[in-house]
Amino acid sequence: MRRGRIGLAVDISILLVALAGLFAIGPLLLPGYFWGAHDARHSVYFLFEFDRSIQEGILYPRWSPDFAFGYGYPFFNIYAPLAFYVGEGFHLLGLGFEDAVKAVFGLALMLSGLGMYGFLRRPLGRRGALLAAVAYMYVPYHLFDMYVRAALAESVALAVIPWVLWGFHETVWRPRFASVAGAGLAYAALMLSSNLITLLFTPLLVVYLAVMVISRLNDEQPLRGFSKESILPACGHLLHRAIPPLIALCIGLGLSAIFWIPAVLENRYVRADQWLAGSYDYHDDFVYFFQLFSPFWGFGVSGAGPEDGVGFQLGAAPLALAFLSLLIWRRLRSPEARRLWAFAWVGLVGAVFMALPPAVAVWERVSFTRYAQFPWRYFSLAAPLLAVLAGTVLAEPEEPAEEKGPWSRELAAVLLAGLVIWGSYPYVRAEIREPKEGPVSLAGLMRFQRTANEMTGSTIWTKEIPQWSPMADLFVNGQDITTRVDYSWVPQNEILAVDARGMTSISEKVWVWAADDQQSVRFYRFYYPGWKAYILDEQTEKVIAEAPIYTSGPQGLITVPVPQGRHLLLLRFEDTPPRRVGQALSAVTLAGLALAALARWRLMRGRAG
């Protein structure tokens, strides 16, 4: 009976979190799509291109052949793909690309609230966790990411952050196989959601773990100073407590190695200058102090000065609850809750500071910070910390199972959660528009890229970023591309003749006849590590030799010299050593985790028998 009461209470709280989230995803349920949001077109066309590779049988796409007007770009080699795997799942279930993107946004918001509830359920109790979960779903930056920016990858990362905190918190206070594996899976999901948010969040996570580990050691044996006799046992105890979260971190890095190892080692082969200057100059995007409290909300963009077209408020209700926690923190009975409160306040102040103009000195001296691109992106760290502080207002230890808590506490939780929803509800809106580029298609992708220069990613061999291409003309006219051979560069006479024999997104085969060894074939493809060329026997199609590749023209196009005679030339995008290492490490980690789970299951089954 006791278990029944507790279980029922927990289920009701989870249901309330889910019901509260329904109001936040209301605009996603309307017909149409918010095409005018900052990254709305990006999110749809990233999924569109991802789907084209999946439909071709490429289970882990790295090269996106239609980006850069058809010259191709290694987008998913350096951009985390998890959000698009989820979106592809919705698309394969029958949703259009726009609706699939909206479904991912809605799922992410719901999971963010449920994750925050799970994280704070024990340290703050049901009511505090419920309030924190609602505050997190409705903190303005969360809504800003969804409806103003339409930043799909970052929204998914915001959903994963509470699950990471929950998992690693458990590895310190209740270390067991489930918590270690869960924390590792959550960290891998964060890395695969957004490498940028992972880069910002990981230092905060490390500090949090250090605080928690030291706090647990102090609870078990108060740290009142060290002597020669005690320092060695203390270090051993510290290592013992740190091992579970370290193992979880290694599991997360191992599972996501398929992405981050190539992304780190091969990122230097793409041009980043176009994303670090102009409209991406961080000096123009600091948030002024008054904007933290301003109720202004808009769908414009941020720029130099305080007259931004968007709002950067922290949220009246969550912020009021955070300040209220300053008055009642002494009433926090749980040491765990007090530590969370202190850590959240320090982290919140630090995250907000990084978005304000006085932090420019840090941005200029610490190059690491510039990966955030926009100072206000540090609000992605402020949002979960603000939610934790809001939840501490109702923090309390759980009542004994046989006792019911007073109705006043239940009412306070519902009223404060309602206050949070009411305070942010005016911002739960999207600007539904028709797409300027027409229906989602290759033609629409070409038109979109023409109006969004940052979409035209290029590799370091590209000296002149294209503004259009012969392939874009074909796409816009509704014609299929049967080859990416640059026939304007190939003579097609008695010296050299080329005939296309088949093409996929990552390979191309052409028949070549060359009168001498001075001829080359050029392709409308950017060069990037992984592209390989082979000379094949015309009859058997067996590899005779690997052909060298060089780049030509201001766009750094793949050019392959061919030997004299009749041959088949195969151009193919393959895995590089970093990609193979990443794949192998992820496979080994996944296999090890599965074997460990199987061994534990057999052990538990044996004990039960």
Tell me which residues of the chain have a pLDDT lower than 70.
Answer: 1-11, 222-234, 274-279, 397-408, 453-455, 608-609
Specify the pLDDT at position 278.
55
Rounded Cα gap, residues 582 and 291, in angstroms: 43
Tell me whether residue 603 is in a domain.
no
- For residue 528, give the CATH number of its domain: 2.60.120
Last residue of a domain, one of 391, 409, 425: 425
Where does a domain end: 425, 447, 480?
425
Residues 391 and 502 both lie in one domain: no
> Where among 391, 425, 459 does a domain terminate?
425
Task: Check the CA dihedral 84-264-251-239 and report its sign.
Answer: negative
| Cα Rg of the chain (Å, integer) | 27
Do 37 and 186 sit in the same domain of this protein? yes
User: Residue 373 has what pLDDT?
Assistant: 85
pLDDT, one tens digit per residue, over 461-473 is: 999 999 999 999 9
348 within domain boundaries: yes
pTM, whole model, 2 decimals? 0.94
By the 10 Å C-beta count (0-12 exposed, 13-18 middle, 19+ buried), 183 is classed as buried
* Residue 49 domain boundaries: 2-18+31-425
pLDDT of residue 6: 41
Considering the domain architecture, whether residues 250 and 398 belong to the same structural domain is answered as yes
* Residue 403 pLDDT: 42
Instruction: For residues 283 and 375, give the distance between their C-alpha atoms in angstroms, rounded to a whole number.
Output: 8
Across-strand partners of 565? Answer: 514
| Size of the chain, expressed as the number of residues it contains | 609
Distance between first and last Cα of the chain: 26
- The total of structural domains in the chain comes to 2
Q: Strand 565-573 vs strand 557-562: parallel, antiparallel, or unpaired? A: unpaired
Q: Are residues 38 and 175 in the same domain?
A: yes
Q: Is residue 586 part of a domain?
A: no
